[in-house]
Amino acid sequence: MAERKIRILMAKPGLDGHDRGVKVVARALRDAGFEVIYTGLHQTPEMIANTAVQEGVDAVGLSVLSGAHNTLFPAVIEALRKKGANSVMVFGGGIIPEEDMVFLKDKGVKAVFTPGTSTEEIISFVRTSVKSIH
């Protein structure tokens, strides 16, 4: 049997317009041999969930720099659940205070990466956690 290609959706929910970080990560994941779908700024949780389902991705990476992560991350997970896409893993990154981490993980966010994280760390996390789904 052929080995599955890892497919990741990188998305920016909400209103902030800073996409430098998400593009750097998208590029790094591409160079790691993954297929990365990028959909641009200002996505609603509904749009992200629909894209994740249609694109058949293994994971969704969310980038939020506006401070709205406590609302947006769980909203995406909820939208995915509603569509039956329970197996899609969600991780995130951005300016996220330490004290929010527990809350987010409790809501089902698999990992949260803050500024300073190396792309290698993200790649290795994605590879390991997706392999266990395949």
Partner 1 sequence: MSDLAEKVLRGEVLPTARLIRDLDDGIDGAISELKILYPHTGKAEIIGITGAPGAGKSTLVNRLIENFRSRGKKVGVIAVDPTSPFSGGAVLGDRIRMQNHFNDPGVFIRSVATRGHLGGLSSSAYEIIKVLDAFGSDVILVETVGVGQDEVEIAGAAHTTVVVLTPGMGDEIQNLKAGILEIADVLVVNKADREGAQVTVQGLRRLLEMGGFDRKGWKPPICLTVGTEGTGIADLVQAVDQHREFWNRQKAQPGFENKRREEDFLRILQGQAISKLIVNLRRSGSLDEIVSRLVRGESDPYSESEKVLKLGDYRPT
Smallest separation (angstroms) from partner 1 to the CB of 97: 30
By CB under 8 A, residue 5 contacts partner 1: yes
Give the interface size with partner 1 as a residue count (CB under 8 A): 33
Of 65-124, which residues contact partner 1 (CB under 8 A)?
83-85
DSSP 8-state code for residue 88: -
Q: 3-state SS of the chain: helix, strand, coil percent to 5?
A: 45, 20, 35
Smallest separation (angstroms) from partner 1 to the CB of 21: 15
Whole-number Cα distances in Å, 38 to 12, 74, 132: 9, 20, 23
By CB under 8 A, residue 1 contacts partner 1: yes
Rounded-to-10 torsion of CA 26, 21, 100, 50:
-40
Smallest separation (angstroms) from partner 1 to the CB of 86: 10
Smallest separation (angstroms) from partner 1 to the CB of 102: 31
Instruction: Compare residues 21 and 104 and give the one whose CB is closer to partner 1.
Output: 21
By CB under 8 A, residue 18 contacts partner 1: no
Whole-number Cα distances in Å, 31 to 23, 35, 105: 12, 9, 28
By CB under 8 A, residue 40 contacts partner 1: yes
